[in-house]
Structure 1
Amino acid sequence: MPTMQTFRLLLAAALLCGWSSCCTPPAEDYIQRPYVQQQMSGLANAFLGLLPPEKAALPAARAEAKWLADTAVVQSAAIARNNRIVLFGWLNNILVNSNLRDRGLCWQVQQDLYRDMRRRPVKFFRVGLTIRDHGTGREHSCVYVNAAGGGLQGSIVLDAWKNCGHLVVLTQKDREGGKWEEDWREPFVSKAFPEGHSYGMDHHLVWPGWARKRPLLIQRMFQSGQQEEAKASGSAAAHKEAGASGGGASKAA
């Protein structure tokens, strides 16, 4: 069977298998639902819990916490709608790497949420970037929030990608056992999206080489398949030739 046809069949099978478990991004009226309002309120309180009590009681700190929480929940849903995110990271990655979707990888969603949470300068909090399992095939990128001057340790991690725009919140305890670290890209991303910027949702970062990398990923998949087929064909031919030679020798004897 041709390699391209094999790939298409595998892709179709993956889509069909995942379809029943896929979700759609939250609707535009999603934030009006009581449980979403409760999530935003609870997240704001969690952010305030990162501060010393005397600072958490300040109206300015409470306003910042509410804005960050509301933005995180609202924009996670909006980013998913904009990118047409689907559940299951591996399925979404297949769609993007196969050029069936333009965007939607976890680091793209991470940087979109970071962009949206940097539109307002904040005094009491810090918005940062984190990456889990860096350097492996399982690496995952998220945003985190901590008190001003703080880093990843003790922060609250926000995952807008995992659950199709329904924001997932991870505390330090939730992250135990995982290899989370500061994202090496943050110095570059923070310069692209300085605090108080006014960029819209159509403003994305394109990392050097990414536009060229996508078709190369597919090309390498095909080349790998062709190499495996060539090896299999070569082994079969060699086995057949060896059998024929053995039969001829026996007949001559």
Structure 2
Amino acid sequence: MTRFLTPFLLLVCLLLGACTAPPPGGPQPPASGEIAALAASLRALGPGVDPEEAERAARVSFLYPLALARSYNITDSPYVHNVKVNNGQRARGLCWHWAEDMELRLRQESFRTLTVHRAIAQSFPGFEHSTSVISRRGDPMQRGIVVDPWRAGGRLFWSPVLRDDYVWRPRMEVLAEKWLKRQGGAPAP
């Protein structure tokens, strides 16, 4: 089944047109104004968000994925790169790697007015997608902004959580449900 699944997913990816390779040299730096637009959206999360922290979070969110793309040796679309990771041709670059590394890097900033979350969404049956989310300190993840470098292979995608195509849930909630299921229990109501 596994031998069939990988080529099948690659074929589906190619047919959907989602497999364009990133430009030579990796993802391009953000266009003029992109960092400022994300910073403005982070400030707009509500009163008390420090403008300097919002700008720093936006800058890290756009620039750090460029370094990760080099580190992960991204030369293909996210789906093709996933196949390479799963076949042992690349060490890292699955969505949860991007989310984990983004979360760790953003947490290094020691924000006082922003919180970094991890989230998981069901992308389609049997497949999940992971990302990081930034919210105002004290707010739930659902009121934050998705910062997802995986979707474009190192070029940041960002969106308010509730406007994204994915339905995001807190990572620990999803993992707890999986653990309970493996134990034969049902998730708590």
After TM superposition, is the score higher than 0.5?
yes
8 A contact 1:128–1:151 mirrored in 2: no
Residue 151 of structure 1 aligns with which residue? 140
2:120 paired with 1:131? yes
Letter of the aligned partner of 1:81 in structure 2? R
Query: Does residue 43 of structure 1 match 2:50?
Result: no
Aligned length: 165
Going from structure 1 to structure 2, the CA distance change for 1:102 and 1:172 (only over 3 Å counts) comes to closer
C-alpha separation between the residues in 2 aligned to 1:151 and 1:143? 13
Q: Which amino acid aligns with 2:36?
A: S
- Unaligned 5+ segments in structure 1 are 1-5, 188-253
CA distance in 1, matches of 2:137, 2:18: 42
Q: 1:171 to 1:62 in 2, by over 3 A?
A: same
Equivalent runs, 1:25-104 vs 2, <5 Å: 25-26=26-27, 30=29, 35=31, 37-52=32-47, 55-56=48-49, 61-104=50-93
Tell me the residue number matched to 2:172.
Answer: 184
Residue type of the partner of 1:23? P
Quote the residue 1:106 is aligned against: 95
What SS does structure 2 have at the residue aligned with 1:153? Answer: helix
Kindly indicate whether the alpha-carbon contact (under 8 Å) linking 2:78 and 2:152 is maintained by their aligned counterparts in 1: no
Residue identity matched to 2:129: H
Render the CA deviation track for 1:69-115: whole Å, top value 9, x for unaligned: 00000001111111022454331211011111111110011111111
Which one has the bigger strand percentage? 2
Question: What SS does the aligned partner of 1:41 have?
Answer: helix
Distance change >3 Å, CA 172–CA 134, structure 1 → 2: closer
Runs of 4+ residues over 3 Å off in structure 1: 17-20, 86-89
Inter-partner Cα distance in structure 1 for 2:18 and 2:78: 13
Contact 2:142/2:168, CA 8 A, preserved across alignment: no
Q: Which has the larger radius of gyration?
A: 1
Report the equivalent of 1:244. none
Q: Distance in 2 between matches of 1:175 and 1:138?
A: 17
Q: After superposition, give the CA deviation of every residue in 1:136-158 in whole Å (9 maximum; x if it has no partner).
A: 42210000000001122111001
Counterpart residue number, 1:22: 21
Rounded Cα–Cα distance in structure 2 between residues aligned with 1:64 and 1:19? 34
- Give the distance between the partners of 2:19 and 2:102, measured in 1 at CA: 27
- Of residues 137, 147, 150, the one that matches 1:161 is 150
Q: Hey, what's the Cα distance between the residues in 1 that align with 2:94 and 2:84?
A: 10
Q: Give the Cα separation in 2 of the matches to 1:156 and 1:162.
A: 15
Identical columns (%): 24
State the Cα RMSD in Å: 3.0
Distance 2:59 2:174 in 1: 22
Residue ranges of structure 2 left out of the alignment (5+ in a row) = 176-189
Secondary structure at the aligned position of 1:161 is classed as strand
Give secondary structure in 2 for the equivalent of 1:104: coil
CA contact (8 A) 2:120 2:174 kept: no
Q: Pick closer, same or farther for the CA change 1:72–1:186 going to 2, 3 Å.
A: farther
Amino acid at match of 1:183: R
Contact kept? 2:36, 2:55, Cα under 8 Å: yes
**Cα distance change on mapping 1:65 and 1:182 into 2, 3 Å:** same
